[in-house]
Amino acid sequence: MDEKWIQKAIPKSHKGAFRKELGVPEGKKIPEKKLKKAEHSNNPKTRKRAILAETLKGMHPKKKKQMSYVSEKRIAAYAKKKK
C-alpha cells in the first residue's frame, strides 16, 4: 500500500480551501474552537471539510519522547540510594 495514500484523496485544487473559508492564514494551525464551530455549520461542504480535518488530525504519527541525557554519575548516585 502506498505510504501517502491520503494525500491523493484531496485534489491539489482544493488544498487550503477549508483554511481560506475559515479565514485562517496559511502556515497557522486552525484553532480548535473554529474547527468545532465549523463541524456544526449549516453549509454541508464546510461541515464535511471540518469532519475530514478532524479525522486527518488524528492520523499524524505520534512523536517519540526523546530520552534526556543522564550522566554516569547520576546513575551511580541513584543506584547507591536504592541500596
- pLDDT tens per residue across span 32-45: 999 999 999 999 99
Residue 64 reports pLDDT greater than 80: no
pLDDT of residue 68: 61
Cell matching residue 45: 461542504
Cβ of 73: how many Cβ atoms within 10 Å?
Answer: 8
Which is nearest to 15 in space by CA: 4, 26, 23?
26
Domain limits of the chain? 5-82
Query: What's the CA gap between 73 and 81, in Å, rounded?
Result: 12
DSSP 32-64: HHHHHHHHT-SSHHHHHHHHHHHHHHTTSPPPP
pLDDT band at 81 (very low <50, low <70, confident <90, very high): confident
| pLDDT tens digits, one per residue of 3-54 | 777 777 778 888 889 999 999 999 899 999 999 999 999 999 999 999 988 8
